[in-house]
Structure 1
Amino acid sequence: MPVTVVVGAQWGDEGKAKVIDLLAAEHTHVVRYQGGHNAGHTVVVGSERYALQLIPSGVLYPHIIPVIGNGVVVDLPTLFKEIDTLQSRDIDCSRLLVSSQCHLIFPWHQSLDALYEQGRGDDRIGTTLKGIGPAYADKARRIGVRAGDVLDPAAFANPVKVQAVAHNSEITALGGDALDVDAVVAQFAEL
């Protein structure tokens, strides 16, 4: 089976999504293999415009299976909102596959992202403050919570609590406000 790989060698905003969309018709799968819900991209199909952040543009074509791979860090509220928006426009998202190994972004990642950026003063890097970098740091440290953990709601709460408590220590040490651990667990249990 032939494979086409589109790799960006810049710092984003280089037209990868447009190229992928142009090539999509010739493929059975469109796989997103890294990144998070950054600025996203807009895809135009006919006269319709679709704004996507996490879901691969292949979802717009009925013959394509869109895949969110292991290397992507996923913000569940953003993913579910994007699915709801697409489905409200009659786009079938039932073909979407999400790797159980994707690491999840939580509110503590977003808090840390903002605190790290603030701490840089004039040397800020211009992060989107969406928690993507801190989520990747947890992945590298092998302490992150993964998408597959959501499949067992009873077991899911424990690692979320452990991570929230641990990250709260760092957040408060950096001068931020501690997160309500129970509220975070409840928020993700509702998803």
Structure 2
Amino acid sequence: MTDAVTDSGTDRAPDTETSAPHRRSAGPHRSGAAHRAILDAAEALLTEKGPAGLTFEAVARRAGAGKPTIYRWWPTRTALMLEVYDRRKVDALSRPDTGSLAEDLTILLRDLWRFWREGPAGPAYAAIITEAQSDDAAKAAMAAPLGDPDFPLTPIFDRAVARGEIETPARAAALREYVAALNWFRLLTGRLDEADIPVLVASLLDPRDAPRRAPT
């Protein structure tokens, strides 16, 4: 059986499992070794071939796993890309706490934009954003972190509220969304020049204090 790929390029689970020989399924409880092997294979394919080269058939072949197992654990390739992306993002992003909201945001955005530029993460996340338009589960997974206390932006804005830099938690929540939207727009338009970050951060937090140089 070949991969079921929609016109948008998203692998989706087939209605029936293939009868071809494959590694015994771990069922709903994931085998740690198989899980890591599949994520490693998916990451290698993203690095070598980009998002277009990431199909469940290619991942299964690289990992020595059965496609039914992959489909059971990740119902779409977008879900698989999100998990590959998230496990690398944890190591790539620092957790700045400088005592200044502007400084913390500047450091975090520099880390994120560098992470997107210097490896497969940027193209992968751009593909996730694109495919989420036709994948409700992926759309929900992308929005969920905005309210997660472990989301890198959350503690930065929580501390800013506690210091009085941001007036209310409601404004902090709105600003988190603005920052996320800014990052996604910059990624999708291929404009990840770190020199633009200070003016973007200043304009977001207080336009009156923004530097005069406009971002490119």
TM-score bracket, shorter-length normalisation: under 0.3
Highest Rg: 1 or 2?
A: 2
TM-score normalized by the length of structure 1 = 0.28
